[in-house]
Copies of this chain bind each other. A is one copy, B any other.
Amino acid sequence: MTPEERLEKYGDLVVRVGANVQEGQEVVLFHQVEHVHVARAVARAAYRAGARRVHPQAADLHMRRAAIELGPEEELGVTPDYFLDWARTWKDTKPAIIQLTGNPDPSLFDGLDAKLVGKAEPRDLRALYLPLVTERVTNWVIVPAPNEGWAKTVFGEPDVERLWQAVALAMRLDADDPVEAWREHAADLRTRSAALNGAGFDAVRFRGPGTDLVVGLLEASRWMCATFETTSGIEYLPNIPTEEVFTTPDWRRTSGTVRSTYPLIVPGVFARVDGLEVRFEEGRIVHVEADGDGAEMIRSQLESDAQAPYLGEIALVDGSSRIRQTGLVFHDTLFDENASCHIAYGSGLPMAVDGVDGAGAEELLAAGVNVSGTHTDFMIGSPEVEVDGLDAGGNATPIIRNESWVL
């Protein structure tokens, strides 16, 4: 397979299996300028699939750095009205949304005031965008775009070809028929979510070095994985690669401490936080520690709205994950969250809760589903972390031991 053939195969997988772009649909394509070669392949695949129009949105974090470093503070994080107005129409026009990930320079914001870096995140746009995703309004996908800077982060040298090979493995582009390979993989994940749903756990417990955490579930929590369907019936696979089964916990019922096992990448800000340790009381994050100015970055996020410090997601991944098997730390949430169990503070995923379809924010909160403008994943699994399901009486059933699924 030549790099050109691989890129074309990649584009088709992203467009046809991931976003599942429909004939005549518009496509909004978010990417960094450094992703441009990959973005072009996606756009071409989208037009081949019958897209009416691809709207590429090439962003440049160096421009954001310039604004943080040299511009006035009051403009930071402000998305211009004309763009917000457009984004507001998406709930009706329902464009497919494709987002490329793979940070070209994780140290770009080093040395800047962490508070300003946090403030520069496009919060208003994120708050508009999240419900489209969590409420299955439109078909979307987030996929990796290998680039020199990302390769340098992973390997210490800008070996893009090596990164492409790891990414292609994780994305099953090595399969003769990647579409069929994803169908089979999704079926395997569905076996796991069915077992979890059958067990009807009241809570999930994580125990390991620095971690003793109980995440309370809702009776209506539903374990999900791989493919989803929009409210209008389009099936899509929102993460490629994906290895997780996940659900929305009760935002009021998490307690204990947890230590992150991978670097956390702050969404929007793209900053890396190492050594994160968090304590929960009655659902709320009440204490944060991290290396360097990481804790301040996290706190700035937690302060963004009243519900940000509560959990919105819990996800289980074992060592059979293709990403785990590469043995690499990708320093990218899409990858690292699929190498390891993880939780996310901020917005819950209503689609993973029975009986809340179309509910408003207040109703969701009352039902135990968190609502926030934030959604930040962080990884808490490792070979030393045991995962158990707890019933209402506190009796434990092993789910993961020594990185193997045992349920």
Q: How far is the CA of A305 from the CA of B75 in the complex (A)?
A: 40
Q: How far is the CA of A69 from the CA of B51 in the complex (A)?
A: 13
CB neighbours of A366 from chain B (8 A): none
CB neighbours of A66 from chain B (8 A): 40, 43-44, 47, 54
| Bitwise interface map of A from 32 to 71 toward B, beta carbon under 8 Å scored 1, else 0 | 0100100110011001100111111011101100110111
B67 touches A63 (CB 8 A): no
B58 touches A44 (CB 8 A): no
> A120 CB to closest chain B CB, in angstroms?
12
Q: How far is the CA of A83 from the CA of B81 in the complex (A)?
A: 11
A85 within 8 A of B: yes
> A393 CB to closest chain B CB, in angstroms?
55
Q: How far is the CA of A48 from the CA of B69 in the complex (A)?
A: 10
A71 touches B52 (CB 8 A): yes
A63 touches B40 (CB 8 A): yes
Q: How far is the CA of A55 from the CA of B71 in the complex (A)?
A: 12
A210 within 8 A of B: no
B52 touches A60 (CB 8 A): no
B53 touches A71 (CB 8 A): yes
Contact of A60 among B56, B69, B89 (CB under 8 A): B56
A60 touches B36 (CB 8 A): yes
> A314 CB to closest chain B CB, in angstroms?
37
Q: How far is the CA of A89 from the CA of B78 in the complex (A)?
A: 18
A63 touches B75 (CB 8 A): no
CB neighbours of A39 from chain B (8 A): 60, 63
Supposing A82-B82, A85-B82 touch, asked if A67 and B54 sit within 8 A by C-beta, the answer is yes
Contact of A80 among B51, B55, B62 (CB under 8 A): B55
Supposing A82-B82, A86-B80 touch, asked if A63 and B54 sit within 8 A by C-beta, the answer is yes
A360 within 8 A of B: no
CB neighbours of A82 from chain B (8 A): 82-83, 85-86, 89
Known interface pairs A52-B72, A58-B59, A82-B83; 9 further A-B residue pairs with C-beta atoms within 8 A, sorted by A's residue number: A36-B60, A39-B60, A43-B66, A44-B70, A52-B75, A54-B67, A58-B58, A58-B60, A82-B89
**8 A-B pairs closest in CB distance:** A47-B70, A82-B86, A58-B58, A47-B71, A40-B62, A43-B66, A44-B66, A53-B75
Q: Enumerate 14 A-B pairs (CB-CB under 8 Å) in ascending A order.
A: A33-B58, A39-B63, A43-B63, A43-B66, A47-B67, A47-B71, A48-B70, A51-B71, A53-B67, A53-B80, A54-B63, A55-B80, A56-B60, A82-B85
